[in-house]
A and B are shown apart, each in its own frame.
Chain A
């Protein structure tokens, strides 16, 4: 079946511009996660959605970052007023439920964001 898809695969933007990154999870997966992968920081958790519950935004690095999930499916990560330190690969993952009860997270191919 189809895996997690993300778009765009690559995004180059100028400093100060806003960007939107999209994630399409595996059908039927109720949990959705965003992570950031950068050379300096490795893989970092950003935000978590589970069903209709309020998202856990504890990993978002600043208030320039926000995310929403519409209809319990597609999610959009928005970065406002991008900075060069936002350059990274943004990975989306989905799972049947939280990984803490053994459901593994399935990752998309990522969006490589470059801020010039």
Chain B
């Protein structure tokens, strides 16, 4: 079974400051990893994903994440926060093998990012 832990249900940063949202996963084999963003009253939008290859993944809106197998982590970062980054962010995993239950996403509880002007 897979699980995802997001540390911090709410993170506040000043505009222009570094954004760091933490995600750790638990899985018997390295899974595929995703970060989604949700703006108020909207669905989820994919920021970036890791499947195979380079462990540093770049996404949209200046975000990036690094897959660290030894730490079972996939933290999301952005060098300089913008007011428009205020939203809720979800880390998710799916199995990297075929078979029953391998296709669904398992989500973390989410981290609400506030950006202070």
On A, residues with C-beta under 8 Å from B are 4, 31, 33, 35, 42-43, 45, 48, 50, 56, 58-59, 91, 93, 98-102, 104-110
B80-93: contact bitstring with A at CB < 8 Å (1 yes, 0 no)? 00000000001010
Q: Which of B45, B51, B106 lies at the interface centre, i.e. has the most chain A CB atoms within 10 A of its CB?
A: B51
Q: Nearest-CB distance from B4 to chain A (Å)? A: 10
A45 to B108, CA, bound (A): 12
B109 interface residue (CB < 8 Å to A): yes
B55 interface residue (CB < 8 Å to A): no
Q: Which of A43, A98, A100, A110 lies at the interface centre, i.e. has the most chain B CB atoms within 10 A of its CB?
A: A100
Say whether A45 contacts B105, CB under 8 Å.
Answer: yes
Nearest A residue to B96 via CB reads A100
Other contacts beyond A98-B103, A100-B95: 5, CB < 8 A:
A4-B43, A31-B103, A42-B108, A98-B98, A100-B102
Contacts of A59 in B (CB 8 A): 104
Partner of A98, one of B42, B92, B102, B110: B102
Nearest B residue to A4 via CB reads B43
Q: Nearest-CB distance from A75 to chain B (Å)? A: 15
A57 to B78, CA, bound (A): 38
